[in-house]
Structure 1
Amino acid sequence: MQITEVNTLGALREVLESEESRQDDLFRERVMEPLRPVWENMLRFIPGQAGAGDPALTAARMMRLYLPEMGRERGLEALGRLERARVREENLGALRRAAGALRPDEHGARLSEVHLALTLADPEGLGEEGYTGAGNTPGWVMVSVWPKEHNLSRLPAVTAHEFNHNVRFGQPDWTFPIPLGAYLVAEGLAETFAAELFGPESLGLWTTTLGMEELGPLRPRFQAALHEQDFNVVRGYIFGDSVMRQSGQANGGGGPGLPPYAGYALGYHVVRDYLARTGRTAAQATYDPWRQIVNGSGWFTA
């Protein structure tokens, strides 16, 4: 498997250092064009967006990327912080480490090449945490960040999480329509795999803020919906009510009262308990069927 870095951070520096009149065109050419496989795929699944206006800039705003209109000096200062923290080198190393742990070639995973792209985020676009990742496009791992004191050290775990998705989503177990149980396990596997490589302290608040006292009462609701396949309903369970509303979507059907990122936290505990009961690692379990993991976790047994 070949790993290819797509240097969008260096490209954005070129854009911001250019004449203002050229910046939008250069942004399309240097930043967004190399990312076309990611955002074209994204727009295809969003009604009314694929042919709306300038597709590259539309996608950039939806992805919460830093655009030239957000300011030259502010952007260059943030890029400088990322360069001094060696985020490109650190995350390229994290991806190589994750690939070495998962060994997808030995498991028949269809990943001949994986692209790693780190992007500068809209400083107001990703909440207090200031970072996110995406691994739902085959062969692509994306990490987006607005640098803050607390988040740079956590980016390698995000890279590992998203690469785990790349591998997991290529398994026969991941088919459309996606049942809630499969989605729950995929997020739990990605987080336990990241913790396996970089320690549980590297995980985001979406996984760690809910404890057993909050998750225990949610167990029957998730158990009853494990085979639910309506994607909006499934996402409601994974992301929770307030996150769905913030993203401009109505409640996904999980019902009122689901806390933010409930599915991430619950999936993490389901997978952790499966690993504890079976003695398997997260890397090994990445190739286990989701029903086996759910049933073996002990979370949903009568």
Structure 2
Amino acid sequence: MTITVLDTYSAMKQILLAPATDRVGMLTSMLEPVRDMYRYFPGDVDLVAMHGWASGFPLDRDERRCLDALETLAAAGAWERMQRALDDALALQMTATPGIEVPDITVLFVLGDPGDAHFMDTCLGITGNGGISGHIMITLWPFPENVADLEATAVHELNHNLRYSPGGVVWNPMTVTVGEHVVSEGLADAFARQLYGDELGYTRIGVPHLRDEAVFAKVVSGLGVTGMQNFTAWVHGDASAEQFGVTPVGLPTGAGYAVGNRLVDAYLTATGQTAAQALHAESSEIIATALQAEG
């Protein structure tokens, strides 16, 4: 089992310095190692289009701003720090659950789009996708808080990857519940906090709502909703729902993360487990135990 953090620093710098006419082809080559991340999509996926959809750095503007941001990340040792964090986190996880199947994992770390207001403001300049076994993608703008959180961000996504790898929890897009998604975010944050503490381990968008009883009650009311198409509204909140054409349900940004942390913490306290030990715990069990403890 190997975790490989791709050298996207060199590739992105070359793309941003290249003639505009060459950039699409160069970006496609940079993204090719994670093509299998889209294996469940119908047809041949346009990797450059997916990059744009995920708020990746632009190819037609903001070159100097992006190059400066890239150097900020390089000076912070971002790629090396991620590699060390992921290796250390995997070692801890293997100690806690020695029988798990661990795939080879490819990590794509990409600079975000400074002109995307939703990404920069609502998402605080950071998004991640670790749910597809064998692949992790992190898109980030180097705000100081995001640079400080690099390790925690990486291991959060690793937790998702290991939870949904073969032998773990099965994610069926049609039948999976909001509760599973909410719990998975809480578990991933709890894992990051186990390694890096509460100051760095929480996903930033959920922090303002950790103690909001109205938000907790609202999200709990939707835990049984099924189908991935509904998750943006329940987990990420109304602003993201509107951004992606999903009907809002009356929740602030990061609501599902806040509630997921609360549910998982209650479960871990009740069972005496660590987040690493609870990697494959059923979301229904976590929710039932947590709500009984809350009650």
- What TM-score do the two structures reach when normalised by structure 2? 0.87
For residues 287 and 150 of structure 1, do their structure 2 counterparts lie closer, same or farther at Cα, with a shift above 3 Å needed? same
Partner of 1:196: 194
Partner residue in 1 for 2:57: 66
Identify if the C-alpha distance between structure 1 residues 237 and 2 changes in structure 2 by more than 3 Å, giving closer, same or farther: same
Determine the C-alpha separation between the residues in 2 that align with 1:114 and 1:219.
Answer: 34
Note if 1:33 corresponds to 2:29: no
Q: CA deviation at 1:221?
A: 4.3
Aligned-partner SS, 1:106: coil
Are 1:223 and 1:300, in contact at CA under 8 Å, matched by a contact in 2?
no
1:90 pairs with one of 70, 81, 91: 81
- Mapped partners of 1:80, 1:101: distance in 2: 31
Shift of 1:145: 1.1
Return the alpha-carbon distance in structure 2 between the equivalents of residues 237 and 194 of structure 1.
Answer: 22
Equivalent in the alignment of 2:245? 248
Quote the offset at 1:153 in angstroms.
0.8
> Which of 177, 185, 196 is residue 187 of structure 1 equivalent to?
185
Aligned partners of 2:56 and 2:111 also within 8 Å: yes
SS at match of 1:282: coil
Q: What is the aligned partner in structure 1 of residue 120 from structure 2? A: 127
Q: Does 1:238 align with 2:235?
A: yes
Q: Distance in 2 between matches of 1:148 and 1:245?
A: 25
Q: Secondary structure at the match of 1:89?
A: helix
- Gap runs ≥5 in structure 1: none
Deviation at 1:222, TM superposition (A): 4.0
Rounded to whole Å, the distance in 1 between the matches of 2:60 and 2:27 is: 11
Q: Does 1:115 align with 2:106?
A: yes
Q: Secondary structure at the match of 2:98?
A: helix
Separation (CA, whole Å) in 1 of partners of 2:80 and 2:137: 14
Deviates more, 1:277-286 or 1:236-245: 236-245
SS of equivalent to 1:115: strand
Structure 2: stretches of 5+ with no match in the other structure = none
Query: Counterpart of 2:90?
Result: 99
Instruction: Evaluate the alpha carbon distance shift between residue 19 and residue 105 of structure 1 in structure 2; reply closer, same or farther with a 3 A threshold.
Output: farther
170-179 or 281-290, which moves further after superposition? Answer: 170-179
RMSD: 2.4
TM score, norm. by length of structure 1: 0.86
Matches within 5 A, 1:202-281: 202=200, 203-212=202-211, 214=212, 216-251=213-248, 255=249, 257-281=250-274
1:82-139 CA distances to partner (integer Å, 9 max, x unpaired)? 1100000011111111111211882332x33011221111113322321221102211
